């Protein structure tokens, strides 16, 4: 019995030879986590480029979107919804406040907490922001092959995320 290339694993190194030790070892294409990470990196790349002119990062976008939709929430609430530690949220909010887009107001019933709101300029900013985002999102939908494909993707991602513990 003559050993073939795959068994020796020495010929044409790095070309298309596959070693014997590859038994049961997955290809990168089969790994959900890997594909997920690459796709997320690509999407974020497009997002960041889309917002380079507005100087807005993904985390800042999500904070503004949340405040715009339901103003008056406390810092911990917003941070919690986005999975951001409240310690790390401080600097983020500082930036938005310094840029005059959002502001902290003393919460009425609780002197510890701050309720978050958009400034008038922040409202205008959020409108432009949404338009830029819509173009970005449309680009992704095009790549996916249509709105149905996007819905399918979002539903699958929800299956991974839903029922976190149990």
The residues binding DNA (CB under 7 A) are: 57-59, 74-76, 83-90, 93-94, 104, 109-114
Let me know the angle formed at the C-alpha of 94 by 93 and 98, rounded to the nearest 5 degrees: 120
Is the sign of the CA dihedral 118, 100, 122, 45 positive or negative?
negative
> Quick count: other Cβ atoms within 10 Å of Cβ 67?
24
Residue 54 sits in the site that holds a copy of itself (CB under 8 A)? no
Pick 17 or 84: Cβ nearer DNA: 84
Residue count, binding to a copy of itself (CB under 8 A): 77
Cα separation, 17 vs 145, in Å, equals 35
Q: Per rule CB under 8 A, is residue 40 in the interface with a copy of itself?
A: yes
What residue 13 binds from a copy of itself, DNA, none (CB within 5 to 8 A, per partner kind)? Answer: a copy of itself
CB 84 within 8 A of CB 135: no
Question: Quick one: what does residue 53 bind among a copy of itself, DNA, none, with the CB cut-off 5 to 8 Å set by partner type?
Answer: none
Decide if 75 contacts 116 (C-beta within 8 A): yes
Beta partners for residue 116, in sequence order: 104
In the list 5, 17, 84, 132, the residue contacting a copy of itself (rule: CB under 8 A) is 17
| Binds a copy of itself (CB under 8 A): choice among 5, 19, 80, 84 | 19
Is 80 among the residues that bind a copy of itself (CB under 8 A)?
A: no
Q: Which residues of 118-139 are buried (b: 16+ CB within 10 A; e: fewer)?
A: beeebeebbeebeebbeebbee
Among 4, 7, 34, 121, binds a copy of itself (CB under 8 A): 34
- Binding of a copy of itself at residue 137 (CB under 8 A)? yes
* Contact of residue 85 among a copy of itself, DNA, none (CB under 5-8 Å per partner type): DNA
d(CA 56, CA 59): 8
Q: Does 52 bind a copy of itself (CB under 8 A)?
A: no
Nearer to DNA, 77 or 144 (CB): 77
């Amino acid at each position: 019995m003559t050993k073939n290339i795959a068994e020796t694993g020495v010929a044409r190194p790095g070309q298309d030879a596959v070693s014997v030790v590859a038994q049961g070892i997955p290809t990168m294409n089969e790994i959900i986590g890997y594909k997920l990470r690459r796709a997320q990196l690509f999407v974020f790349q497009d997002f960041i480029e889309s917002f380079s002119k507005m100087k807005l990062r993904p985390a800042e976008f999500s904070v503004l979107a949340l405040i715009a939709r339901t103003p008056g929430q406390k810092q911990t609430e917003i941070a919690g919804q986005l999975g951001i530690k409240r310690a790390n949220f401080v600097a983020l909010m500082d930036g938005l406040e310094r840029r005059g887009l959002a502001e902290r107001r003393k919460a009425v019933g609780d002197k510890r907490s701050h309720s978050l709101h958009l400034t008038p300029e922040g409202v205008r900013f959020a409108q432009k922001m949404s338009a830029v985002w819509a173009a970005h999102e449309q680009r992704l939908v095009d790549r996916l092959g249509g709105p149905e494909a996007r819905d399918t993707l979002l539903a699958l991602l929800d299956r991974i995320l839903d029922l976190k513990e149990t």
